[in-house]
Chain A
Amino acid sequence: MIEVDRLTKRYGNLKAVDEVSFQVEKGEILGFLGPNGAGKTTTMRILTCFLPATEGTARVAGYDVFEDAMEVKRRIGYLPEHPPLYDEMTVDGYLKFVARIKGVAPEDRKRRLQEVKETVRIEGYGRKLIKHLSKGFKQRVGLAQALIHDPEVLILDEPTVGLDPNQIKEVRELIKSLSGNHTIILSTHILPEVSMTCQRVVIISDGKIVAVDTPENLTRQQQGAAHIYMEASGSDVAVQRHLQQIEGVLSVVSRPLGEGEVSSFRIETELKQDVRGRIARSVIEGGFELLEFRSLQLSLEEVFTQLTTQEEVRSQ
């Protein structure tokens, strides 16, 4: 549905977006993850035909964003970082205006207006002036605006920024419910958002893509080794020595927990074989009491930090 090929945007000597390539399949939700200023907004603005790219191409639904901008614009719903609202208009007045300039046929306008208001749950607010709405409701009107012409592609720039936790949850659920019928790109710098809503993640840093994968694969790949967290009672030195003799264990870090003889252990094991069962059995057979045992996954947060800082080291 969306094909981006070596897209570059230069401001003088600064490359805001540097040879970015990725694809989004129909019905997919793609997360665009990166620190502030990484080039997320710029990429999205190029895709929505707001900005021209310096080099490279981008196609939306088979149309080039530069050559066939009108066709692309007809197929994209875009929610910019700041919802583009006219404070002095009513919700209905505003949405009707957007429906008109987005090319919704006159006979469909009333129906679409009703539908999007139901989708984003702002029925009953139609006659309110936008300036009297709370931030969460403004964001919903922004989403309604992006949905009004039932676009194939939705591009949402930080859709949950500035909302309270309940509103964030609602917006995420809303976005999830929209996938399937719509192809969605959403940008964020909040990591849990990506693992909660997106099927695939593009991590971007300093204008470059540093990783493209599913949230699960990203956390797994970056690890290189599997990690296990364990709590057991017994002398920590003895347990550690015991653990290190088990085949497949690479290293053990122990730390006394200060409750009698209980210690915690962080065990690094080889990725290719699952040694969890062997470790658990061996600990009990060794005469120690096993109190807690779980495998650790790097959080997306850690992956993100690793990827973006590696990038810095490399560029230095």
Chain B
Amino acid sequence: MRNLLAVIEKEMKVYFASPVAYGVLTVFLLVSGYFFYNILTVFIQRSMMMAVQAQQFGGATPAMDVPALVERNFFGIVSTIVLFMVPMITMATFADEKRRATIELLLTSPLTHVQLILGKFLAAMGFFAVMLLPTLVYHAFLYFYSSPKMALGPVLSGYLGLLLLGAALISLGIFISTLTESQMVAASVTFGALLILWVIDLSAQAAGPLVQEILGYVSILNHFDDFSKGVIDSSSLTVYLSFVFLGLFLTYRSIESWRWRT
């Protein structure tokens, strides 16, 4: 536990000493803020138009839950932006330790591989959470200006979903980072891998029914939809957690085999 905390703390220090971290935080906030604003204005306009049409042609104003629609679309967009941010968060985890030979220090210290990997994973998750944190303000705005007050459940489940999605993507990114000494290579390969996971969903629709079902299950973004609707499905939870476990397990094996080859 002591070792784990030491690794997490050191990773955090290294994160926030790097300009990449501030770049990632800034870009994420700008892009997610822009989309939030856009989504919000689009739905408000649409609801107003519907209200105007209802007045012109008579009849009741159709019920439209603007906050719920905004939330669902916002989480959908953020889950996509996250795909672009995760490679930047994970690229250095092991690749940079190898490049500057600090991996020799870590692997010759009385640290277990599990402590090392878990420490790096949790630190990356911490950074990811810090990145998401300011977006809570958007929902606060929506909440205070909504009438009747919007439901908070979907917001919470949405963030739970984002954290799970992030954990899955980060564990994959950390694994890829163990395969190379170059951060750039790690980032591009991770990005490529995440893109494939993203489009697997689309290709699933073109495939036969059985393949479609399997691919749909594997597609981690597919499972995210439930969370943004406020549904916490145990099968989605299982998929995410097994994905995280798989990623970290591969990382472990990769470090072991790297030791044998170096």
Binding site for B on A (CB under 8 A): 45, 48-52, 70, 73-74, 76, 78, 80-82, 84-89, 93, 97-98, 100-103, 145
Contact = CB atoms under 8 A, between A and B. Distances in A.
A160 to B, nearest CB: 18
Contact of A74 (B2, B14, B110): B110
28 contacts: A48-B104, A49-B107, A49-B108, A50-B108, A50-B259, A51-B262, A52-B260, A70-B110, A73-B109, A74-B110, A78-B108, A80-B101, A81-B101, A84-B100, A84-B102, A85-B102, A89-B13, A97-B6, A97-B9, A98-B105, A98-B109, A100-B5, A101-B3, A101-B6, A101-B106, A101-B111, A103-B110, A145-B105
Nearest to B262: A51
| B18, B100, B105, B259: most-surrounded residue (chain A CB, <10 A) | B105
Given A51-B260, A74-B110, 14 more contacts: A49-B108, A51-B262, A76-B108, A80-B105, A82-B101, A84-B103, A86-B10, A88-B17, A88-B18, A89-B10, A89-B14, A98-B105, A100-B5, A145-B105
B110 A101 contact: yes
Contacts of A48: 104, 108
Contacts of A81: 101
B164 interface: no
B221 interface: no
Interface residues of B, number: 27
A58 to B, nearest CB: 14
Contacts of A103: 3, 110
A85 B100 contact: yes
B85 interface: no
A50 B107 contact: yes
Contact of B17 (A51, A84, A89, A101): A89
B7 interface: yes
Given A51-B262, A70-B110, A80 B104 contact: yes
A70 B2 CA distance: 15
Contact of B14 (A70, A88, A100, A101): A88
Chain B interface SS verdict (over half)? helix
B13 A73 contact: no
Given A93-B13, A101-B109, A103-B110, A78 B104 contact: yes
A140 B109 CA distance: 19
Nearest to B106: A101
Interface in B3-61: 3, 5-7, 9-10, 13-14, 17-18
B6 A52 contact: no
A100 B3 contact: yes
Among B2, B13, B109, B262, max chain A CB count under 10 A is at B109
A100 B2 contact: yes
B117 to A, nearest CB: 14
A101 B107 CA distance: 10
A86 B110 contact: no
A175 to B, nearest CB: 19
Listed from nearest, the 3 A-B pairs whose CB atoms lie closest are A88-B17, A84-B105, A100-B6
Contacts of B9: 97
